[in-house]
Structure 1
Amino acid sequence: MTDINDFCARRTATIRDAMATINASGMQMLLLLDADGRFQRTVTDGDLRRLLLDGAEMAGTLESLPDLASVTAPEEISRKGALALMDKHEINHLPLIDGDGRVVRVLNRRDIGAPILLSTPHMGEAELHYVEEAFRTNWIAPLGPNVDAFEREIADLVGAGHAAAVSSGTAAIHLAVRILGVQPGDKVFCSTLTFAASANPIVYEGGEPVFIDSEPGSWNMSPVALERAFDAATAEGWLPKAVIVVNLYGQSADMDALNAICDRHGVPVIEDAAESLGARYKGRPSGVFGRMGVYSFNGNKIITTSGGGMLVSDDEELIKQARFLATQARDPAPHYQHSQIGFNYRMSNILAGVGRGQLQVLEQRVEARRAVYEAYRDGLSDIEGLEWQPEPDWSYSNRWLSALTIDPDVAGFTASDVIRRLGDEMIEARPVWKPMHLQPVFAHCRHFAHGNEPVSDRIFDQGLCMPSGSNMSPAEIARVVDAMRGIFKGR
């Protein structure tokens, strides 16, 4: 960054010296200061040319420059506020002034930088090869060689017996719910701290979600709360048709403990690993611990196909059913015949090609996101009141999103305050998922807490997700850390 002293001048400076200063600094302007060093106005080469056209000599001073109310801002202005001022006045430089009227720095439009988003797609080079192959062979519609290969490659990667590529993670959950026979009136236990796509498919089939609280050690489904739910159901003479366990923000749930409870009651588990591809539980890939597992390739996920999902299982018959239902449930007949209601859920050959290319760099994407998380935690380690999403000994998170909670009584700010302040700096942060039992659409559904107070409620009240993209540059990560430190410095 250019030192302010390199492009400052007093009224006694000559026009020639002023032009030389502008040329040398590369700032396309200089700061005109009074005798006490207080800011008076900016001076551009255009201002100097006008002086010469009005008859001034190169050896003449800047005394003849008229007074001008240049656009300035207080030094604490946000990036968003500074950019708005620049756009309004069509300027590229904005002097920031302290309480004594002195320039502390000049903000250049290019220094503001682009917005830093939460989780953007990170494309590589291999994707184009598979997409071009689809065009070259005219496999454009759903199904095709890329789909078949993508299914095999995912299954091999995670150690699942079989896989079905579909249009979204939501579609995969819906197929799993349908295949397990959920019907109107049936109940399904589901993690409460998750996105609505985990629970909505239950309702698609007429079922009723029953929400299970989080445990503090992983933020995922609490075995204690799940046991309470089963005890209540047994006492009332019913059992859930299935249990949907969600792996939040790339962090696996404690699947052994949860499966042991479900196995004891003979209830199948759907592992919603939409956010946790590339994560591991006790050394094994996330997503293979239930009767069926689900992955998402939405545009913001660890790898993407733009939109898409995958259903995996060791049971070949279940995956055959999924493919059948996902292809409009067309019977094996020479004409179009349907004995069941099906869905248009299959993935296209083009998008599967994107997925194949993305899959080749999954390990690097996980390493990059974990590095972002560690940079945040290290850079903010001395700020009290911050608690990062834990990673138990049995887990290896893909850190899809770097999530934390902020204790307002200790930190001096709420999570909402921080999200708003980061937004002012053109940095996107978001609240954690609002628990499903707090959603208006599910207000009538039951909920079982981990303890006296729901753990998920506290995480929602105090939680936020930081920008976490695997394509974030070191400068962007540092910008986020600096912005966070700036917020808490002012408490």
Structure 2
Amino acid sequence: MVFKIPLSFPVLNGNESLYAQQALNSGHIAAFGQFINRFENKLSKRLKTHEAVALNSGTSALHLGMVLLGVGPDDEVICQSFTFCASANPIVYLGANPIFVDSEKDTWNICPELLEDTILSRMAKGKKPKAIVIVHLFGMPAKMKEIVELSVKYNIPVLEDAAEAIGSKYQGRYCGTFGRIGVFSFNGNKIITSGGGGALVSNDTSFIQHARHLSTQAREDLPFYHHLEIGYNYKMNNLSAAVGLAQLEQLDSCIKSRRLVNQRYRKLLKNFPGIEFQSESNDSLSNYWLTTILVDKEKTGFSNNQLKIALMNKGIESRFLWKPLHTQPVFNMTPYYGGNTAEKLFENGLCLPSSVDLTLQDQEMIVSVIQEELSKTFK
């Protein structure tokens, strides 16, 4: 279905066409070319403390990150349950076992208290977790102070899934720079895109060097094909990097636009009963990749599903929040620690259109649908 107002649509009004044409003219459109280096350098310079390796997806970056951390068969990796499956799937790729943890109600990300309970429980069973995967959902930073303290206390590395959170900050530092390894996604619906792509970042030079090597099939520097370890075809191509570089040049304006979209929604929905937003603490600055709301059916008289259908009937795309991984059939035998916070978020939540070029008129149209649904309740 083609929506009049999509959920999150890329805006390509910078140097995308120019750089893409330059990449085409160079003849280098695969995993070699100047734009890959320029993209990696631009991202590294922005992060200041971390180097970057450009890859073909955020999932590839997560998988490679786990390889670098030594995750292997029968290891246990703690993972936030309230997230997209790509956060956990690479654990299974490597023959390891995910251990899911519930969210806290403030940021909707992994709960630090439950995280420590989980670590202690697994250690008591003789299985010290190999790594902790945390996610900054919809661009909202997790409670990294507490999480990093636990990482240090128990000597368990953090793999930071910042796929949705490039440009977001926590206590003045960029998301993706708190863990041993961080990853970003540049999928087509993200705040900036390379069409398809991702990046792995770290301040450990050995990780970066090894990631570069593994991402190009682990070919040794010899005049013939020679391999000492298993590698992957994960490198970002030059054409994607050209688009990504142009997008990265516009990241600050994209964040400004997404935050403005969020502010407008909050203002327009301020007095609507039963509508609640994801909260941003004083320590955090979210890129607000997506503006998300919770719908309290008892107060609104309609559910998130009813609202989704009403919006769709007007040509407006919306999306449910992530279905918790511990409730997914494919993970039905996986240990889970926590209550029902993540499940409640899924049952009540909805992502609203949040594109960079979303206009005030578009948002007023969206809010008018919500108003119409409310009016049915309070006739």
Q: TM-score, normalised by structure 2?
A: 0.97
2:282 is matched with which residue? 393
From 192, 199, 209, the equivalent of 1:303 is 192
Structure 1 residue 474 displacement after superposition: 2.3
From 286, 291, 298, the equivalent of 1:402 is 291
From 372, 382, 386, the equivalent of 2:261 is 372
2:123 is matched with which residue? 234
* SS of residue paired to 1:405: strand
* SS of residue paired to 1:354: helix
Work out the CA distance in 1 between the residues paired with 2:340 and 2:155: 27
Structure 1 residue 417 displacement after superposition: 1.1
* SS of residue paired to 1:460: helix
From 316, 341, 353, the equivalent of 1:455 is 341
Work out the CA distance in 2 between the residues paired with 1:422 and 1:139: 44
Kindly tell me the number of residue pairs found equivalent between the two proteins. 377
The answer to whether the aligner puts 1:243 opposite 2:132 as a matched pair is yes
Structure 1 residue 454 displacement after superposition: 2.2
Aligned AA (2:215): A
Whether contact under 8 Å (1:159, 1:285) holds in the other structure is no
From 148, 165, 168, the equivalent of 1:259 is 148
Aligned AA (1:245): I
Whether contact under 8 Å (1:188, 1:243) holds in the other structure is yes
Whether contact under 8 Å (1:172, 1:311) holds in the other structure is yes
From 464, 476, 486, the equivalent of 2:350 is 464
* SS of residue paired to 2:98: strand
1:96 is matched with which residue? none
Once the two structures are superposed, the pairs formed by residues 278-427 of structure 1 within 5 Å of their partners are: 278-427=167-316
* SS of residue paired to 1:464: strand
Whether contact under 8 Å (1:219, 1:389) holds in the other structure is yes
- Superposed CA deviations along residues 210-240 of structure 1, whole A, max 9, x for unmatched, are 0111110110111011011011012112211
- Superposed CA deviations along residues 457-489 of structure 1, whole A, max 9, x for unmatched, are 110111110001011122211111111111112
Structure 1 residue 324 displacement after superposition: 0.9
Once the two structures are superposed, the pairs formed by residues 32-431 of structure 1 within 5 Å of their partners are: 115-431=4-320
- Superposed CA deviations along residues 161-190 of structure 1, whole A, max 9, x for unmatched, are 311000000000000011111111000001
Work out the CA distance in 2 between the residues paired with 1:489 and 1:370: 28
- Superposed CA deviations along residues 30-73 of structure 1, whole A, max 9, x for unmatched, are xxxxxxxxxxxxxxxxxxxxxxxxxxxxxxxxxxxxxxxxxxxx
Whether contact under 8 Å (1:250, 1:276) holds in the other structure is yes
1:487 is matched with which residue? 373
Work out the CA distance in 1 between the residues paired with 2:314 and 2:347: 22
Aligned AA (1:417): Q
The answer to whether the aligner puts 1:478 opposite 2:364 as a matched pair is yes
- Superposed CA deviations along residues 344-389 of structure 1, whole A, max 9, x for unmatched, are 1000111101111001111111111111111111111111111101
* SS of residue paired to 1:490: helix
Aligned AA (1:399): Y
Work out the CA distance in 1 between the residues paired with 2:68 and 2:182: 13
Aligned AA (2:193): T
Whether contact under 8 Å (2:192, 2:244) holds in the other structure is yes
Structure 1 residue 114 displacement after superposition: 5.8
- Superposed CA deviations along residues 143-170 of structure 1, whole A, max 9, x for unmatched, are 2111011111101112233110000000
Work out the CA distance in 1 between the residues paired with 2:271 and 2:360: 20
Whether contact under 8 Å (1:158, 1:286) holds in the other structure is no
Whether contact under 8 Å (1:305, 1:352) holds in the other structure is yes
| Structure 2: runs of 5+ lacking an equivalent | none
* SS of residue paired to 1:230: helix
* SS of residue paired to 1:431: coil
Whether contact under 8 Å (1:380, 1:485) holds in the other structure is no
Work out the CA distance in 1 between the residues paired with 2:154 and 2:78: 13
Structure 1 residue 136 displacement after superposition: 2.1
Q: Which range moved further: 469-478 or 183-192?
A: 469-478
Work out the CA distance in 1 between the residues paired with 2:3 and 2:223: 56
Work out the CA distance in 2 between the residues paired with 1:392 and 1:442: 32
Among all aligned residue pairs of Structure 1 and Structure 2, give the percentage whose two residues are the same amino acid: 40
Work out the CA distance in 2 between the residues paired with 1:422 and 1:161: 42
- Superposed CA deviations along residues 308-341 of structure 1, whole A, max 9, x for unmatched, are 0000000011011111111011122211011222
Q: TM-score, normalised by structure 1?
A: 0.75
RMSD: 1.3
Work out the CA distance in 2 between the residues paired with 1:168 and 1:293: 13
* SS of residue paired to 2:52: strand
The alpha-carbon distance between structure 1 residues 233 and 114, as it changes in their structure 2 partners (threshold 3 A), is closer
Aligned AA (2:46): L
* SS of residue paired to 2:260: helix
Whether contact under 8 Å (2:3, 2:317) holds in the other structure is no
| Structure 1: runs of 5+ lacking an equivalent | 1-79, 81-112
1:23 is matched with which residue? none
* SS of residue paired to 2:64: helix
Greater relative contact order, per chain length (Cα 8 Å cut-off, separation 6+)? 2
Aligned AA (1:181): G
Aligned AA (1:203): V
Work out the CA distance in 1 between the residues paired with 2:368 and 2:260: 17
Work out the CA distance in 1 between the residues paired with 2:295 and 2:360: 24
